[in-house]
Amino acid sequence: MKKTKKILTTVVTILIIFAAVFLVWANQSYKPNFNVEDFIKSNDRVTIQIDKNIVINPKDKKVEKGFIFYPGGKVDPKAYIPIASKISEEGYRVVITPMPLNLAIFNKNKADNVIKENRDIKVWAIGGHSLGGVMAADYAFNHTDNIKGLILLASYPQDKNNFTGKNIKTLSLWGSEDKVAKLDKVKSAKNILPSDAVFYEIKGGNHGQFGSYGKQKGDGEAKITEEEQQKISAEYIVKLLDKINK
């Protein structure tokens, strides 16, 4: 009896230590490398509201389509405001969804609430960066009634999610200097994505420059600027959003 109690105490102690270490690791997120308040004040082409989600709308344009964005793992969602703003100013609502512990795996269905709270938007695309893209793809696979576009930034669907028979416009972008993502899986995703999916390698881009949070640990050195990488990405994303219909 004493031996069993000792074993249980040891197991509980190990679990508590593991949980504490995990929480410390998860909370060490990548922060925006720009002043968020100054960016919002200086941007005269979009409105940016930060609440439970980050909602970005174009000024002086009628919005009919929306793009739900899941952040990369351990990245502060505000770090994606610059690229999201570039997309939004072309006439789209972009909703960046904060995740528990900055890990989309803990709330892959966050898009449910976004869609419910934005009933004026009738056509939706979803996407994400890195881990966020994996979870966005999982959501899209199970919600093609609402989701008409899928955008993957340095990301790919899980093997179980075979989109070849799905009617969903798809875009996959990655940087040639990315040393974080498994680029073999990013590229081989052609086998489980629709035949008309667009795959494009951004020459000189890396993993972290899809967001604005500085260099990510283990990433390659980019040969183009963050601004250039996000400009190219936004152009491709807007082209996809232009094509999706209800």
Which tokens in the block code for residue 48? Answer: 């940016």
SS3 94: strand
Please check the confidence at residue 51 and state whether its pLDDT lies above 80. Answer: yes
Q: What is the pLDDT of residues 92-127, one digit of tens each?
A: 999 999 999 999 999 999 999 999 999 999 999 999
CA 149 to each of CA 5, 51, 85, 177, 206: distance values in angstroms, whole numbers, following the listed order: 54, 25, 19, 26, 24
Please check the confidence at residue 15 and state whether its pLDDT lies above 60. Answer: no
Predicted model pTM: 0.89
Q: What percent of the chain has pLDDT over 90?
A: 86
- Beta carbons within 10 angstroms of residue 40's beta carbon: 17
Please check the confidence at residue 139 and state whether its pLDDT lies above 90. Answer: yes
Please check the confidence at residue 18 and state whether its pLDDT lies above 50. Answer: no
